[in-house]
Amino acid sequence: MPAMNLETVAIIGGGVAAVSFACALRAGGFNGSIIAVSDEPELAYDRPPLSKTFLSQGTDAVRLDTRPATNVEWLHGVAAISIDGRQRRVHLANGRNLPYSALVLATGATPRLLPALADVELPFFTLRTLDDARGIRARLVAGARMVIIGGGVIGLELASTARRMGVSVSVVEALPRLMNRCAGDVLASFIAAQHAQNGVELWLGKQVIGCSPQGVLLNDGSAVPADFVVVGIGVSANDGLARSAEIACDDGIFVDRYGRTTCPQVYAVGDVTRQRNPVSGHFERIETWTNAQNQAIAAARCLLDPGTAPYDEIPYYWSDQYEQRIQVLGMPQGDEELVRGNVGNDAFVVFHLLRDRLVGATCVNQPKAVAPLRRLIASGKTPDRKKMVDIDFDIRKLADDD
């Protein structure tokens, strides 16, 4: 639908995907009404700093800049309860019926909970919201004992921050290694060594079966002392609103490369979406900040101009842990890994191959390699293996290799 036929765009959500969509609409020349509804009472904020700078510095410099999205009606602390796709209305918990020409679902995701922690006396948290981060920050004092359940990126970033603040940290991961879904073996081993060197106690291949007031109980009979617990075992898509409107979902709202759902004039962006990964070819939830921002920008442009190129960006995430800057492109795993550089020197690149095809790359303290590797993966080329691992061969020329 061209912009001239749009009168009101309603956005459900208040995070980076929602803000990016609204800003892109205004940047694209849309002069109609934009109404953004969020069930969180907070003004729009960024999530990546919640596990890092917000905790250590105690600053509220996490707010997203909404100024480019001029003349937007922001409704905070109001839940959307249902969608009427035929009448093109959203029903809000405060009784308001919100008409729309186009509706954008940017509802994000919710942390999964651990049944073993139900009805326990020990304080426990997840880390998804600003309120979560405030509760954790209040307990990050020197000498405190924190147990993190789950060895994913957010939990490990929290562990890094807490150790710098003098907190005793233990990480319990049910699988035999860290970062199981988002890292290859080389990076997982490297990160485990970094945390061990910084005094984090790692409990790998262990399951939490309960808690006592003194700590966390594991399935091998061990007890890990704790003053509080943070659970980071993944998230579930907030797709209930879409499912109730009979929009196609499967732990995430299915969208095409234009951000369109199966309901006319209803779009979805960010962590709540299940989209086609341009590298794997599969429909997946790509839970990264860059995807939330850039998918939303692309979808807004497509809404305003159907002739705009669809979203087809190579997945990317970054993580800062201790002194290590980790950047991962494409698929973080394959059936083979090639290492360029010296892992022991804390500066290296790992190429991920699947059935002899280059599908991803991991850069540790190699920021200049990211842009050329992004182009290389997007090109679909798989360079000569010797050139990939040869530190004397210009990494910028790998995409030129036939």
* Predicted pLDDT of residue 119: 79
- Does 258 share its domain with 356? no
- Does 218 share its domain with 248? no
Tell me the pTM. 0.95
- Does 144 share its domain with 91? no
- Model confidence over 152-191: pLDDT tens digits? 999 999 999 999 999 999 999 999 999 999 999 999 999 9
Considering 252, 271, 304, which residue would you say is the last residue of a domain?
Answer: 304
- % the chain with pLDDT above 70: 98
* Predicted pLDDT of residue 3: 46
Q: What is the mean pLDDT of the chain?
A: 95
- Does 256 share its domain with 121? no
Amino acid symbol at 281:
G
State the Cα–Cα distance between residues 341 and 296, nearest whole angstrom: 36
- Torsion, Cα 386 391 392 397, to 10 degrees, reads 70
- Does 118 share its domain with 96? no
DSSP string, 51-88: GTHHHHH---TTB---TTSTTEEEEES--EEEEETTTT
pLDDT average, residue stretch 202-206 = 98
- Residue 2: band (very low, low, confident or very high) from pLDDT cuts 50, 70, 90: very low
In a domain, 177, yes or no: yes
In a domain, 318, yes or no: no
Q: Is the pLDDT of residue 292 over 60?
A: yes
What tokens appear for 34 in the block?
Answer: 């934009």
Q: Which residue segment(s) compose the domain that 141 sits in?
A: 113-231
- Does 248 share its domain with 103? yes
pLDDT average, residue stretch 290-309 = 96
- Model confidence over 339-353: pLDDT tens digits? 999 999 899 999 999
- Which residues share a beta bridge with 208? 218
Residue 339: C-alpha distances to residues 343, 350, 353, 371 (Å): 8, 5, 11, 18
Reduced to 3 states, what is the DSSP secondary structure of residue 236?
strand
* Predicted pLDDT of residue 401: 63
In a domain, 312, yes or no: no
| CATH code, domain carrying 388 | 3.30.390.30
- Model confidence over 338-387: pLDDT tens digits? 999 999 989 999 999 999 999 999 999 999 999 999 999 999 999 999 99
Reduced to 3 states, what is the DSSP secondary structure of residue 199?
coil
Q: What are phi and psi of 253, to 5 degrees?
A: -90, 125
pLDDT average, residue stretch 290-297 = 98
| CATH code, domain carrying 240 | 3.50.50.60
pLDDT average, residue stretch 284-295 = 97
In a domain, 310, yes or no: no
- Residue 16: band (very low, low, confident or very high) from pLDDT cuts 50, 70, 90: very high
- Does 207 share its domain with 254? no
In a domain, 313, yes or no: no
- Does 98 share its domain with 242? yes
Q: Which of 347, 337, 345 is nearest to 388 (CA)?
A: 337
- Torsion, Cα 134 140 146 151, to 10 degrees, reads 60
* Predicted pLDDT of residue 391: 95
In a domain, 314, yes or no: no
Considering 258, 275, 304, which residue would you say is the last residue of a domain?
Answer: 304
Considering 210, 231, 252, which residue would you say is the last residue of a domain?
Answer: 231
- Does 191 share its domain with 214? yes
In a domain, 309, yes or no: no
In the block, tokens 């929290």 appear at 158
- Residue 1: band (very low, low, confident or very high) from pLDDT cuts 50, 70, 90: very low
Judge residue 273's burial from the number of C-beta atoms within 10 Å of its C-beta, 0-12 exposed, 13-18 middle, 19 or more buried: buried
Number of domain units in the chain: 3
Per-residue DSSP letter, 260: B
In a domain, 174, yes or no: yes
- Does 144 share its domain with 206? yes
Range 212-215, long-range pairs (CB < 8 A, 24+ positions)? 212/121, 212/122, 213/121, 213/122, 215/122, 215/145, 215/147
- Does 58 share its domain with 11? yes
- Does 129 share its domain with 193? yes
